Amino acid sequence: MQVETLIEKSCTSIGEGPHWDERTQQLLYVDINEGCFHRWTAATGVDEVYKFDKYCTLVVPCRKGGYLVSVGQSICHFDWDTKKLTTLGTVDEGKDTRINDGKCDPSGRLWFGTMGLEKVPAKVEKHMGSLFSLETDGTIRKHKEGVSISNGLAWTEDNRTMYYIDSIPRKVFAYDFDIATGTMSNERAIISFGDEDSMENFKTHGFPDGMTIDTEGKLWVAGFFSSSVMRYDPETGKELSRVPIPAAHCTSCCFGGKNFDELFITCSAFGVTDEEKEKTPLAGSVFRATGLGARGKPAPVYEG
């Protein structure tokens, strides 16, 4: 296994939301508190940036062209060429929240969640967030309330199970999933990073954050505060292996590259303490891990 620094310190706040765009061989990601949408082109190594005026936490290409992006509490369509931003819907109006992680399911509907605002990493008022979907006809549906930090999402190959992370209870949940109707049911916790109150395993695991799934159905979960991405078996809840990252706050990962065997990993520089700074001078960089013996597949795009 090799881990390299791919894009050095490109994020000054929370590097997040990596999405490999196979059509253009580009890595899309965000720098949340800066409101920045980054687009790194594999062929040239050039990292382009566009800044919105509020938090930007997710970017997903649209089949029809352009991207879905989140800006604060809104989901918008963004045309990179003209820089035209069109709001498609707003959630949590009147609440002190922002959108966080989001991803399309294999039918091309967007799933995204919200969280309370934080001044210090992962310190939020609990249960302020919800999980929503943006259907391909443009309607927004709420699926779950009482979420603390809405985070990683993944679906099994047969589309019958959805995985979802709420970082504060430190758990990955599984649901029975109906892809035709876009409904989730029968919640169960399948992976625990440790007890929430005693913060057991805090140094080794931290909080579960972003996640992706490989072709063997195993989950790759970023451990915020743990400097690593961990591979888990969702059937047994056991950790199988881990990728150590030279930065303290690892936020998310996705597979990409020509053969989908490269793991792109984002991390945060927000709230990194002086003590951590010495240990993690590369905070805010994007890393690439190869030689993992695992691969992913193309991430769905928005079909609406």
Residues that bind ligand BGC (CB under 6 A): 14, 16, 32, 100-101, 118, 121-122, 149, 151, 167, 207, 209, 224, 251
Q: Which residues bind Ca ion (CB under 5 A)?
A: 101, 151, 209-210
Cβ nearer to Ca ion, comparing 274 with 285: 285
| Shortest Å distance, C-beta 290 to Ca ion | 23
Cβ nearer to ligand BGC, comparing 127 with 160: 127
Residue 272 contact partner, candidates ligand BGC, Ca ion, none, CB within 5 to 8 A by sort of partner: none
Retrieve residue 247's tokens: 């930065």
Cβ nearer to Ca ion, comparing 209 with 262: 209
Q: Who contacts 273 (Cβ-Cβ below 8 Å, separation ≥6)? A: none
| Shortest Å distance, C-beta 213 to ligand BGC | 18
Given the residues 92, 101, 105, 209, the one annotated as active site: 209
Interatomic CA distance for residues 89 and 73, integer angstroms: 9
| Shortest Å distance, C-beta 252 to ligand BGC | 7
Cβ nearer to ligand BGC, comparing 257 with 271: 271
| Shortest Å distance, C-beta 240 to ligand BGC | 21
Cβ nearer to Ca ion, comparing 74 with 251: 251
> Rounded to the nearest 5°, which phi and psi values hold at 111?
-110, 135
Strands 59-61, 67-71: pairing kind: antiparallel
Residue 6 contact partner, candidates ligand BGC, Ca ion, none, CB within 5 to 8 A by sort of partner: none
The answer to whether 209 is a known catalytic residue is yes
Interatomic CA distance for residues 67 and 114, integer angstroms: 19
Residue 224 contact partner, candidates ligand BGC, Ca ion, none, CB within 5 to 8 A by sort of partner: ligand BGC
Residue 122 contact partner, candidates Ca ion, ligand BGC, none, CB within 5 to 8 A by sort of partner: ligand BGC
| Shortest Å distance, C-beta 55 to ligand BGC | 9
Residue nearest to ligand BGC (CB): 224
Q: Which residues are catalytic?
A: 209
